[in-house]
Amino acid sequence: MSNRNDLKNTLSYLHSELNRIETMAGTLSTVEREHFNKLTNFDHRELMDIAVEEQNAARQLGAIKQMCLAMAQKIEGMKKALDHGEPGERTQHDPVH
């Protein structure tokens, strides 16, 4: 029972941290997009290069946000499975092949 509670607590912690990372990545992605929009208003080659880097950073942060969301959903599924007595309920070990 203690192992099950430890697992549930660990999953809750991971879920919470993934949500925090997702939020931070989303915020930073928005900031990067705003920088891209501001920098592209200038007719200056170096600023355009920086704008492109900002755009790439925004895309990568958007991808990180989506990965965090997917992992958080997976963890939520694992927590629900634990609540419904799925993994960890078996009393015998699976046979080794």
- Per-residue pLDDT of the chain in tens (97 residues, 90 and over written 9): 688 889 999 999 999 999 999 999 999 999 999 999 999 999 999 999 999 999 999 999 999 999 999 999 999 999 999 988 875 544 444 554 4
58's CB contacts (< 8 A; 6+ apart) are 29, 30, 32, 33, 36
pTM: predicted TM-score of the whole model, two decimal places? 0.77
Q: Report d(CA 41, CA 50) in Å as an integer.
A: 12
Alpha-carbon distance of 21 to 26, in angstroms, equals: 8
